[in-house]
Chains A and B, each alone.
Chain A
C-alpha cells in the first residue's frame, strides 16, 4: 500500500513520476531498453525498432485525436511526407542524418498545418474525410512529382551515418530510433503539463467553452495538427532510414487505420496508451505466429492453413479489447497500479 505521497507544491502535483516506486520502475524500463540490443537477436531488434517508429507516430496521432479531439485518417500520408523528405535530403542535398530527421518533422508539420485548416469549420467524421482527401492528394503528388519523389519506383535511401558510423542494421539503428522515440514520448508527456496541452484538452472537451475561456481555436487546432504531423514526419523519416526505400505504396491508407486503431486500443488521450497500443498492434500479429509454430507438429501444413485463422484471432482480440476495455490498455495499466497502491486491500 502506498502512503505518504501528499503533494505540497503545484510542481509536485504536475510531476510525471511522483513516487519512488514509479521512478524505480522507470529506471528498470530504461535499463532494459539500454540492455535490449545486447540480448535480443536480429528479429526482435527489428521488431523493437518497428515498435519504436510506430510509437512515435501513434503518440503524434494521440496528440491530435486523443487529446485535441480532431479525428485524422491522414497519419500515413504525413509519415510519407517525412520519409520522402529524408530520402530527398539524404540523396539530393547530402545533409546529415539528424538534420534530415528534423527536416522530415518540420516539412510534415507544414503540410499538417495546411491539411488542418479545414478543422476550424469541420470536425468529427467530416474532418476524417478531409484528411482522407488530403492523403489522396499527397499520394498523387508522390506518384507524379517524379523529379523529387522518383515516381512509382520511389527512392532508395543511403544508410544513416552518425559520427562516421554507418547505421545499416537494426542493432545500429536501435541506438538512434529508440532514444529519439523516448524523447518524443517524453516531450508529449510534458506537453500536457503546459498551457498548450491543457488548451488541446479544453478544445477536445468542448471547443465553444474553450473559446469562451480565451483559447484561439484556429491557432491551437493548427498547432495540434502541426505537432501531430511533426511526430508522424519524424517517424516517417526514421522509417525511411530503417527500410531504405520509399515508394508511394510504402504508406498505404491502411496504415492510417492501423494508427487510429493503435491509439483506440491503447487508450485515447493517454501517452502510455500510444505506447501500448502501437506495441500491441505491431507485436501481437507476430506473437500469434508462434501459436502457428506450436501447432505445426500436430497440424499438417499449419503455416498455410492457420494463417487466415491468425488474422481472425487478431481481429477478435481487438474487438474484445474494445468491448471489455473501452478505455484501452492504458486503463488496464491504471487498474493494475491501483491494485498495488491499495494492496493488500481490495478495490
Chain B
C-alpha cells in the first residue's frame, strides 16, 4: 500500500466523518404534532428489548395517526440508538430535545432515568417513561415527571408472593438475584413482605450477572429445598442451567421470574427444561386471542409474526403517553411535565384494548397490575396460571 493510498483512505474516512456532522438533513419539529422522543437501545446488551420497544411504539404512533391523531395533532416518534450506555442516552436526549419540541420521552435504563431526573425537574416540560421498572423510580416526590407502564420490581415480587400465598400458604422461598442494581432492587423489600405474608424466605443466592457455571448455587438451593425459587436480575442465562441442574438433582421447587425473563421466544428456544417456569407478566402475550383484546388483533394484522414482550411494553408506554397528552389538550392546557403527569394520574379504570386484561389506573408512577403465566413446553407457549392481580396501595 503506498502512502498516497493511505492518505486517500484516511482522508475519505475523515471527510465522511465531517460530512456526516452537517446537520442539514435533520428533521425538525413541525407545528401541530406531538413528538415522543426516545433514547432506545437498538444495539448493545439490551438491543433485544430495544428493537421490540421501538416497534411497539412505532406501531402505536401509526395506529393513532391513522385514527386521526391526538386532539387533531399527529404523533411522531423521534428516537436514536443509545447502545444502552447512560452517557449516550443523555447525548441523545440533549440532541433530540434541541431539534424537536418534545414533551414526552422514553428512556432506556434505570441509570438514565436517575441521571436525567434533575434535568427533567429543571425543565419541567417533559413527562418520561422507559424500560426501567426500578422501584426507586416509583416515587412521585423524587421523580415527579416519570412513570413506568407496569408494576415496579418490588410490585412484581408482590404479585408473585400474592400468588404463592394463595397457592401454598406458608411456602418456603429462595430468592436468586444477579449482583447488579437491577438484580438487587426488590430483594430487601420483598424479604420483608414475604415475612408479613407468612412466607418463609429460607435463602438468598446472589450470582454474577453473567454467571455460567451455577453448580455451587444449585447445591445451596438443594440444601434450602424451597417450594418456590424466584429469579430476578436476569434475562435468560443462567436460568435454564439452574433449572436443568435442579431437575437432575430431583428438586421439586417451582421456578419463577420477573418481566424481562418472561419473553415467550426465549423459553421456546430452551425447550423441555423450561417446562413449568412461571413468572409475572404485566401484559398479555402477542398470541392471546381473548375476545376483549381488539388491539392485539390489530397488532397481529400489522405484524404477522410473534412480537416480544418489549413490544407490548413499548406499545402500552406510548399509549399511556398518548392518553395523557389527549386529556391535557382536551382540558385546554398546554403540554408540560406537570399537566401531563396530572393527566396521567387521572387515568382510572382505563381500557388498554386488551394489552392488560383488566382496566388500569395510574395512581402514582406505576401500574401495579400483573398476571402469573406458566410455560408449557409442549405448546411452546406461556399460558395464564392466574387471574389478573391488582395490588392495593
Contact of A290 among B20, B43, B51, B94 (CB under 8 A): B20
Proximity bits, A127-148, B CB within 8 Å = 1, else 0: 0000000000000000100000
A326 to B364, CA, bound (A): 56
CB pair B13–A317 under 8 Å, yes or no, is: yes
CB pair B20–A291 under 8 Å, yes or no, is: yes
CB pair A311–B20 under 8 Å, yes or no, is: no
CB pair A304–B87 under 8 Å, yes or no, is: no
Q: Which of A43-51, A102-110, A114-122, A230-238 contacts B (4 or more CB under 8 A)?
A: A43-51
A and B contact pairs by CB, cutoff 8 A, 25 listed: A42-B97, A43-B91, A43-B95, A46-B91, A152-B184, A154-B114, A168-B118, A168-B122, A243-B90, A250-B86, A285-B83, A287-B17, A289-B81, A290-B20, A290-B26, A292-B80, A303-B42, A303-B54, A303-B80, A304-B55, A308-B43, A320-B9, A321-B10, A321-B13, A324-B6
Q: Is B231 an interface residue (CB 8 A)?
A: no
CB pair A307–B42 under 8 Å, yes or no, is: yes
Contact of A289 among B10, B47, B80, B94 (CB under 8 A): B80
A50 to B16, CA, bound (A): 22
Q: Is A293 an interface residue (CB 8 A)?
A: yes
Q: Is A197 an interface residue (CB 8 A)?
A: no
CB pair B91–A50 under 8 Å, yes or no, is: yes
A40 to B81, CA, bound (A): 22
Contact of A325 among B6, B16, B18 (CB under 8 A): B6
- The chain A residue sitting closest to B134, CB to CB, is A153
A287-B20, A332-B10 known; A303 vs B43 contact (CB < 8 Å): no
CB pair A290–B180 under 8 Å, yes or no, is: no
CB pair A42–B43 under 8 Å, yes or no, is: no
Across-interface contacts of A321 in B (CB, < 8 A): 10, 13
CB pair A284–B98 under 8 Å, yes or no, is: no
Proximity bits, A216-255, B CB within 8 Å = 1, else 0: 0000000000000000000000000001110111100000
A129 to B53, CA, bound (A): 38
A296 to B24, CA, bound (A): 13
Across-interface contacts of A288 in B (CB, < 8 A): 17, 20
- The chain B residue sitting closest to A296, CB to CB, is B27
Contact of A294 among B7, B25, B87, B185 (CB under 8 A): B25
Q: Is B181 an interface residue (CB 8 A)?
A: yes
A332 to B18, CA, bound (A): 16
- A-contacting residues, B65-90, CB 8 Å: 79-81, 83, 86-88, 90
- The chain B residue sitting closest to A144, CB to CB, is B179
Q: Is B378 an interface residue (CB 8 A)?
A: no
Q: Is B136 an interface residue (CB 8 A)?
A: yes
Across-interface contacts of B90 in A (CB, < 8 A): 46, 243
CB pair A243–B87 under 8 Å, yes or no, is: yes
- A-contacting residues, B189-241, CB 8 Å: none
Across-interface contacts of A14 in B (CB, < 8 A): none
- The chain A residue sitting closest to B78, CB to CB, is A303
Q: Is B1 an interface residue (CB 8 A)?
A: yes
- The chain B residue sitting closest to A47, CB to CB, is B91
A42-B98, A294-B20, A294-B25 known; A311 vs B83 contact (CB < 8 Å): yes
Across-interface contacts of A289 in B (CB, < 8 A): 80-81
Task: Assign chain A's interface to a size class.
Answer: 35 or more
Contact of B179 among A143, A243, A332 (CB under 8 A): A143
CB pair B26–A293 under 8 Å, yes or no, is: yes
Across-interface contacts of A250 in B (CB, < 8 A): 86, 111
Q: Is A266 an interface residue (CB 8 A)?
A: no
A43-B98, A289-B81, A291-B20 known; A244 vs B13 contact (CB < 8 Å): no
A288-B20, A310-B81 known; A170 vs B94 contact (CB < 8 Å): yes
Q: Is B23 an interface residue (CB 8 A)?
A: yes
Beyond A43-B98, A293-B26, A303-B54, 19 additional pairs, beta carbon < 8 A: A41-B98, A42-B94, A47-B91, A50-B91, A151-B184, A250-B86, A250-B111, A285-B88, A288-B17, A291-B16, A291-B20, A301-B58, A303-B81, A304-B54, A308-B43, A311-B43, A320-B13, A324-B10, A325-B10
Q: Is A286 an interface residue (CB 8 A)?
A: yes
Contact of B114 among A156, A286, A325 (CB under 8 A): A156
Q: Is B331 an interface residue (CB 8 A)?
A: no
A105 to B20, CA, bound (A): 37
Across-interface contacts of B98 in A (CB, < 8 A): 41-43
CB pair A249–B94 under 8 Å, yes or no, is: no
- The chain B residue sitting closest to A239, CB to CB, is B87
- The chain A residue sitting closest to B58, CB to CB, is A301
Proximity bits, B93-106, A CB within 8 Å = 1, else 0: 01101110000000
CB pair B86–A307 under 8 Å, yes or no, is: no
A122 to B55, CA, bound (A): 51
- B-contacting residues, A298-344, CB 8 Å: 301, 303-304, 307-308, 310-311, 317, 320-321, 324-325, 332, 335
A43 to B99, CA, bound (A): 9
CB pair B6–A290 under 8 Å, yes or no, is: no
- A-contacting residues, B115-153, CB 8 Å: 115, 118, 122, 136
CB pair B91–A308 under 8 Å, yes or no, is: no
- The chain B residue sitting closest to A312, CB to CB, is B43
Across-interface contacts of B115 in A (CB, < 8 A): 243-245
- The chain B residue sitting closest to A244, CB to CB, is B118
Across-interface contacts of A335 in B (CB, < 8 A): 7
A245 to B40, CA, bound (A): 20
A286 to B23, CA, bound (A): 12
Across-interface contacts of B6 in A (CB, < 8 A): 324-325
- A-contacting residues, B25-55, CB 8 Å: 25-27, 42-43, 47, 51, 54-55
